[in-house]
A and B are shown apart, each in its own frame.
Chain A
Amino acid sequence: MAGKVKPRVKVPKKAEKGEIIEIKTLISHKMESGQRKDKDGNTIPRQIINHFVCKYNGEVVFESDWHGAVSANPYIAFRTVATESGELEFIWTDDDGSEYSTTAKIEVS
């Protein structure tokens, strides 16, 4: 399903301090590989998301570089430790330079 790019994240609303929380992310993106050709035989230029970062109150807690062979609509799940209440920010960077971002709040007690 390729359409408009739309990020989606799932973060627990509440957590206890020190608890390990699971974060799930998914972004709808065609992840054009650069290997395909259109019907006239011309190569369709590569356009993928090449970088993903998650910041917890400004501090980077998860970061990764992406290359070829990452599927369309990439899904990433990872864990981090709930340290303090605040905001998680997620940023995906496209080959064309554009950034897609979303945020989620977490309450730590």
Chain B
Amino acid sequence: MQIRGLMAGLATVVLGFGVYHVTPVVADDRPSVQPPADHPLDEIVSGYHFRIPETQAVQDDDFENPAFLWIEQAELLFEETDGEEGKACADCHDGVESLKSVGTTYPVYFEPFGKLINLEQRINNCRTENMKAEPWKYESDEMLGMTALVRHQARGEPVNVKIDGEAAPFFEKGKEFYYQRRGQLDLACAHCHEGYAGTKIRADMLSQGQSNGFPTYRLKWQKLGSLHRRFKGCNDQVRAEPFKRGSDEYVNLELYLAWRGQGLPVETPAVRQ
């Protein structure tokens, strides 16, 4: 009986994806933010409100939140001299607090590259250009910690990315990626995160897939992880070939996704399941 029920459930899900109708199940009584004009969502809800109370409690207490292990190490790194120029981050930046709102604005259009860059890439650009130091690997503890430390300075401030002007074409590419079906399962990001947030996908609760808490300590990973790692995971799960971390495709998507959460308070470092 149970198995038959499960099969029926699966069939419904598959059919549901086939016709792709957007059901406004979302937020119920979850705290939300009003979206800007021409936004695909009726209300913007942080992933925090889709998690169980036990997970939320770990995020609520900075002492319990394991992500602070990385952030503390990054605080030490901020002061540490590295590279041929003999500089530390702190030599140019007057304390990490001076980077207060920076985390709300990335990714941004970066003139020297003629394209978007995200916070990780900005940090590495600082390292290679200003410090003449080796760039950090994308998913290294150093990079995750420093990104989290900088974005943590903006905690509580609303996400505020710029999508017009030079960023506009990249924003459009990101949007295209979001609605593009991919992989063996032939699913776009929107299929799960636009139509079905707040419902179950097997044993997990779907969220709107917001990025306001990244880098995030994910219990499944047992460590801090980047947004692009999560993108890869999502792409893998629909059995698509994932892109590389830091690829243009993912950075464009990062901008589009940030705009889908425009106005949400930054939660870095968040804790998720």
Q: Which residues of chain B (63-97) have a CB below 8 Å from chain A?
A: 63, 66, 68-70, 72-73, 76
State A6–B74 Cα separation when bound (angstroms).
12
State A75–B124 Cα separation when bound (angstroms).
33
Output the least CB separation between B217 and chain A (Å).
10
Encoded as 1 (CB less than 8 Å from any B CB) or 0, chain A from 45 to 70 comes to 00000000000000000000000000
- Say yes or no: B73 contacts A3, CB within 8 Å: yes
Q: How many A-B residue pairs have CB under 8 A?
A: 25
Encoded as 1 (CB less than 8 Å from any A CB) or 0, chain B from 210 to 247 comes to 00000000000001100000000000000000000000
Given contacts A1-B141, A1-B223, contact A28 B69 (CB under 8 A): yes
Contacts of B224 in A (CB 8 A): 1
Give the residue name and chain of the B residue nearest to A2 (CB).
B141
Give the residue name and chain of the A residue nearest to B72 (CB).
A6
- Say yes or no: B141 contacts A3, CB within 8 Å: yes
Contacts of A26 in B (CB 8 A): 63
Contacts of B73 in A (CB 8 A): 1, 3-4, 6, 28
State A1–B68 Cα separation when bound (angstroms).
10
How many residues of chain B are within 8 Å of chain A by beta carbon?
Answer: 11
Give the residue name and chain of the B residue nearest to A25 (CB).
B63
State A36–B76 Cα separation when bound (angstroms).
28
- Say yes or no: A73 contacts B69, CB within 8 Å: yes
Give the residue name and chain of the A residue nearest to B223 (CB).
A1
Contacts of A10 in B (CB 8 A): 63
- Say yes or no: B70 contacts A6, CB within 8 Å: no
How many residues of chain A are within 8 Å of chain B by beta carbon?
Answer: 10
State A3–B72 Cα separation when bound (angstroms).
10
State A26–B141 Cα separation when bound (angstroms).
19
Contacts of B141 in A (CB 8 A): 1, 3
Output the least CB separation between A74 and chain B (Å).
12
State A64–B122 Cα separation when bound (angstroms).
45
Contact of A24 among B63, B69, B70 (CB under 8 A): B63
State A54–B63 Cα separation when bound (angstroms).
18
State A87–B144 Cα separation when bound (angstroms).
35
Give the residue name and chain of the A residue nearest to B69 (CB).
A1
Interface centre among A3, A8, A10, A26 (most CB of B within 10 A): A3
Output the least CB separation between B10 and chain A (Å).
39
State A73–B63 Cα separation when bound (angstroms).
13
State A3–B159 Cα separation when bound (angstroms).
31
Give the residue name and chain of the B residue nearest to A72 (CB).
B69
Give the residue name and chain of the B residue nearest to A3 (CB).
B73
Output the least CB separation between B142 and chain A (Å).
9
Contacts of B68 in A (CB 8 A): 8
Contacts of A24 in B (CB 8 A): 63
State A12–B199 Cα separation when bound (angstroms).
40
Q: Which residues of chain A (1-37) have a CB below 8 Å from chain B?
A: 1, 3-4, 6, 8, 10, 24, 26, 28
List B residues at the A interface (Cβ < 8 Å): 63, 66, 68-70, 72-73, 76, 141, 223-224
List 13 additional A-B contacts (Cβ < 8 Å) besides A6-B72, A8-B63, A73-B66: A1-B70, A1-B73, A1-B141, A1-B223, A1-B224, A3-B73, A3-B76, A4-B73, A4-B76, A6-B73, A6-B76, A28-B69, A28-B73
15 A-B pairs whose Cβ atoms sit less than 8 Å apart in the complex: A1-B69, A1-B70, A1-B73, A1-B223, A1-B224, A3-B76, A3-B141, A6-B73, A6-B76, A8-B72, A10-B63, A24-B63, A28-B72, A28-B73, A73-B69
